[in-house]
Amino acid sequence: MQSLPEKLRQKMHQREADNALRKLVVRDSLVDFTSNDYLGFARSPELYHDIDNFLKASEYPLNGATGSRLLSGNHSLNVEVESFLSDYYHCEAALVFNSGFLANQGILASLPQRDDLVIYDEYAHASIRDGLSIGLAKSLKFKHNDLHDLLQVIRRAKQTQKDKLDCIYIVTESVFSMDGDSPDLKAMVELCKAENCRLIVDEAHALGIFGSKGRGLIEDLNLRDHVFARIITFGKALGCHGATILGTTDLVDYLVNFARSFIYTTAMSPHSLSSIIMSHKHLDSDPGTIAREKLLQRIFYFKKIVVKNGLENRFIPSYSAVQSCVVPGNEMVKNISEVLIGEGYDVRPILAPTVARNSERLRFCLHSYNTEVEIKKVLDILSERLTEI
């Protein structure tokens, strides 16, 4: 086989020199403080059997979709899932994508046009940035969760572009994956109303945790009628796969025609579609309610021990399942992660360039199945290690 080009080898060498080289590792036996399985749905035997029974009862004859949705891959189960989702999230229409990444990429690459402007939070997920890089519209970023800066960016753009500016889209996340914090969504909605902007919100890390029946922060704050589009991801708290974009029927019709990450990919399998319905039903059940309550209790307890151990200045303020402890420097944060892993706790380092240099952090993802003993122990070890620095 041909070898990697030298310029790419040099990029790998530089990544290694920066102590930022990524590798795939398997660590199945550790206490989980890393996965996005916030409610334990991915490992739920009850949900596993419910999905299997649902698929058998449907007597669906296929293992795979057989093609893209616009060719042979659009079956009655696709329609059933999207109808279910639009009812569950109280919106006109829903369109399922194969992942949250593809959903963000699809809407942001196809929706904004040349005379439009997209203004996004500087900490927005890579899928948002990638979608914007493919699309036709100009994009600008605003300081993280800073609505004053957002307003200034909007007004400068209106002043400089004037008649050339058609639509302005504002893009943010309801819970940010690296920091676990949230914007002031009520104030952002009011700002968008005042400035005639359309708001797009990624709810990936809020789903299953906040809101009635775990529908997310937009639902929790009763803002769904004031948001242009919501991106809901199933691969985190719901423990399955895929994503949906929620909005008007017109928006969904547009995406079916122009979102390339939807058009040119094989549709989701019957098993994946069944998982989406049954994980939502599980979320709406007594076990799902208990799991959400346990998770919120664990978040509260975690924050309590952080304060007790004098670590609050290290942690980014967050009320979500993502709690991040800033430990500047790739080498230092990797070293502490290895100490925790050596003690049996799976806490991964988030390195530059994934986050800005000197803001490297240990990201603790909390779950309904984490115990208070596990939380206290891992934070005690962390406290001891940081004291030694």
Give the Cα separation of 132 and 137 in Å (integer): 7
167 and 92 in a single domain? The answer is: yes
194 and 295 in a single domain? The answer is: no
> Is 18 a residue whose pLDDT tops 80?
yes
Q: What percent of the chain has pLDDT over 70?
A: 99
Per-residue pLDDT of 277-308, as tens digits, reads 999 999 999 999 999 999 999 999 999 999 99
Give the Cα separation of 232 and 254 in Å (integer): 18
User: Is 38 inside any structural domain?
Assistant: no
What is the pLDDT at residue 58?
81
What is the pLDDT at residue 156?
95
Nearest residue to 256 via CA among 80, 22, 74:
74
Secondary structure class of 257 (helix, strand, coil): helix
User: Is 41 inside any structural domain?
Assistant: no
Please, which pLDDT band fits residue 383 given cuts at 50, 70 and 90?
A: very high
User: Is 210 inside any structural domain?
Assistant: yes
Give the Cα separation of 118 and 365 in Å (integer): 30
Q: What percent of the chain has pLDDT over 90?
A: 90
Q: What is the mean pLDDT of residues 140-152?
A: 98
Q: Which of 283, 311, 344 is the last residue of a domain?
A: 283
226 and 293 in a single domain? The answer is: no
279 and 352 in a single domain? The answer is: no
245 and 343 in a single domain? The answer is: no
270 and 331 in a single domain? The answer is: no
User: Is 305 inside any structural domain?
Assistant: yes
222 and 328 in a single domain? The answer is: no
What is the pLDDT at residue 26?
83
Per-residue pLDDT of 345-375, as tens digits, reads 999 999 988 898 999 999 999 999 999 999 9
Give the Å distances, CA to CA, from 292 to 13, 105, 282, 319: 44, 29, 11, 14
238 and 338 in a single domain? The answer is: no
Per-residue pLDDT of 306-323, as tens digits, reads 999 999 999 999 999 999
Q: Any idea what the CATH number is for the domain that residue 187 is in?
A: 3.40.640.10
Q: Which residues constitute the domain of residue 74?
A: 46-283
Nearest residue to 93 via CA among 225, 253, 217:
253
Q: What is the mean pLDDT of residues 16-30?
A: 86
87 and 156 in a single domain? The answer is: yes
Computed from CA positions of residues 12, 16, 22, 24, in that sequence, does the dihedral angle turn out positive or negative? positive
22 and 103 in a single domain? The answer is: no
Please, which pLDDT band fits residue 28 given cuts at 50, 70 and 90?
A: confident
126 and 235 in a single domain? The answer is: yes
User: Is 37 inside any structural domain?
Assistant: no
Q: Which of 229, 262, 283 is the last residue of a domain?
A: 283
Helix (H) or strand (E) holding 323: strand 322-326
Per-residue pLDDT of 237-275, as tens digits, reads 999 999 999 999 999 999 999 999 999 999 999 999 999
The tally of domains found in the chain comes to: 2
Please, which pLDDT band fits residue 198 given cuts at 50, 70 and 90?
A: very high
User: Is 39 inside any structural domain?
Assistant: no
Average pLDDT of the chain is 95
> Is 163 a residue whose pLDDT tops 80?
no
Q: Answer with the residue of higher pLDDT: 195 or 387.
A: 195
Secondary structure class of 290 (helix, strand, coil): helix
Q: Which of 259, 283, 307 is the last residue of a domain?
A: 283
What is the pLDDT at residue 83?
98
What is the pLDDT at residue 113?
95
What is the pLDDT at residue 59?
77
Please, which pLDDT band fits residue 165 given cuts at 50, 70 and 90?
A: confident
User: Is 165 inside any structural domain?
Assistant: yes
User: Is 54 inside any structural domain?
Assistant: yes
What is the pLDDT at residue 219?
95
Q: What is the mean pLDDT of residues 215-234?
A: 97
What is the pLDDT at residue 45?
95
Q: Any idea what the CATH number is for the domain that residue 294 is in?
A: 3.90.1150.10
85 and 178 in a single domain? The answer is: yes
What is the pLDDT at residue 61?
81
What is the pLDDT at residue 19?
85
Helix (H) or strand (E) holding 296: helix 286-308
Helix (H) or strand (E) holding 190: helix 185-195
What is the pLDDT at residue 24?
87
